[in-house]
Amino acid sequence: MKKGQIAAVVAVLVIMGYLYMQPVRGLEKAKDVAKETAAAPAASNTTAAISLSEISEAAKAVIGQGLAAKIVELEEKLKAAPEADKPAIEKQLAAQWDDVNQPAPAAFYYKAIAQKANTVDNWINAGNRFNEAFKTTQDTAAQPAYMANAVEAFENARKLDAENLDAKTGLGVAYVNGGAPSPMQGITLLREVVAKDPANRNANLALGVFSMKSGQYDKAVERFKTVIAQKPEVEPYFYLAESYKQLGRKKEAIEAYNKCKEMMPDPAFGKRIDDFIKELN
């Protein structure tokens, strides 16, 4: 599989899979959720039983032998390297996995880097990849591990800089995904981010998706328009189209769907978008 094809597959997984996950409970019913979850323990930050080797092998199967060759070479080099040389090789491996759009194995290497060099940026890099892995995986057994690792990474980043907006945004997303007893804890963090930075892309995108999942499509539209105004991309345009569709605004939905096709000229993706448009006509 070529890099461009991998990117298209990942994008489809994001916009089709993440959107239709189970609705987030409690976004507008914080009191009800608080009652139901009062006796529930907070999500554990302990890494679930999942190994880097398992994640790596699964990712190699996705990208194919050609693109995996350099990664295999670096993995062997890492095994034989003295401790002093390992951080440099781990950085190379993280970058290689990023290059082929595989956030899960990249996340574990970024975490290893952060454990050795305890900096805000290193922990944010790890947390972002764990959130992305949670979002794109179809392996529900792996999701708790990704979520728990994301929470751990962003909480470590905030210990170093409590007001860092990227760390606060990432932690908010992880909390809503299940890293806290109530999703409202995550929404509160995300709202704090946009209060300080109204145009914050990541926070607005996350709040838009969570608004959709709680049925607040009018609010979602405004969030996605804010994101698109900064940088038009296929993911927020797809969410915008879906929100318009749910609001019965067919013309705007079709326009947004067509924007998605323009931005990702992948035949399979284009056909799926055409199917959505036909449903509206």
Res 20 pLDDT > 60:
no
Tell me the two tokens of residue 218: 């009018």
Our measurement of the distance from residue 116's CA atom to the centroid of its chain's CA atoms, rounded to an integer in Å, reads 24
Query: Cα–Cα distance between 271 and 262 in angstroms, integer?
Result: 12
The domain of 83 spans: 49-162
Residue 5 lies in a domain: no
Residue 16 lies in a domain: yes
Q: Are residues 58 and 150 in the same domain?
A: yes
239 alpha-carbon distance from chain centroid: 14
Report the pLDDT averaged over residues 8-36: 45
**Per-residue pLDDT at 26:** 45
Confidence of residue 268 (pLDDT cuts 50, 70, 90): confident
Lowest mean pLDDT among 49-58, 111-120, 218-227: 49-58
Assess if residue 242 is contained within a domain.
yes
166 close to 142: Cβ distance less than 8 angstroms: no
Q: Are residues 151 and 187 in the same domain?
A: no
Q: Please check whether residue 3 lies inside any domain of the structure.
A: no
Q: Structural domain tally of the chain?
A: 2
Q: For residues 20 and 61, state if they share a domain.
A: no
- What is d(CA 74, CA 60) in angstroms, rounded to the nearest whole number? 13
- This prediction's pTM: 0.84
